[in-house]
Amino acid sequence: MARRKKRLQPVMSLMLNSMVDMLTILLVFLLKSFSTQPELNVNMPNLTLPVSSSDRTPEVTASIIVTKDKIVYGDKVIAKLNNWNVENMKEEEFLIPGLYEALTKEAEKQKYFARLRGEEFEGKLTLIADKGMPFLLLKKIMYTAGQAEFALFKFATYKEEKGKGKES
């Protein structure tokens, strides 16, 4: 019996349609999560932000970063922390000298730009701090910032997942 062998078709085309579908869905999802809001750089060792359910977005302001072992302003380490105490500083002292200097400079700069634009100096400051920071240190930082004329604080927090979709 001569059975005729079916020949393989010479041109094989990959079934790409389903894969394109998948990639499109992925792309749309990623585009959705692509945010245009100003991003805070919180990728630092020893830094875990506290969690809150606030839905207000961060603004572009000067920001102080407080990790478990140091206070950072801009790219500069202002002070080292030892068990949440600022090194080379007495516990009852409130003004953190390095931070005060840096913030005064920043305030002067911002005031100058505000004057050029004809706006008022707002004195906003974002605080990116580890969740374990005690109130004493927070107080010292806020006091120092207050002395440097920054009075509006924005505490950066991780957004709680639970509250999603609740808002109308």
Contacting positions for another protein (CB under 8 A): 13, 16-17, 19-20, 23-24, 26-27, 30-31, 33-35, 39-40, 42, 49-59, 126, 129-136, 138-139, 142, 146, 151-159, 168
Q: Which is nearer to another protein, 101 or 157 (CB)?
A: 157
What is the spatial distance between Cα 57 and Cα 40, in angstroms, rounded to a whole number? 10
**Nearest Cα residue to 81 out of 100, 92, 68, 63:** 68
In whole angstroms, how close is the CB of 105 to another protein at the nearest point?
20
The one-letter amino acid code at 140 reads K
In whole angstroms, how close is the CB of 130 to another protein at the nearest point?
7
Q: Which is nearer to another protein, 3 or 56 (CB)?
A: 56
Which two structure tokens, joined as six digits, stand for 150? 């920054």
Q: Please say whether the beta carbons of 73 and 103 come within 8 A.
A: yes
Q: Which is nearer to another protein, 1 or 30 (CB)?
A: 30
Distance spanning both ends of the chain, measured CA to CA:
75
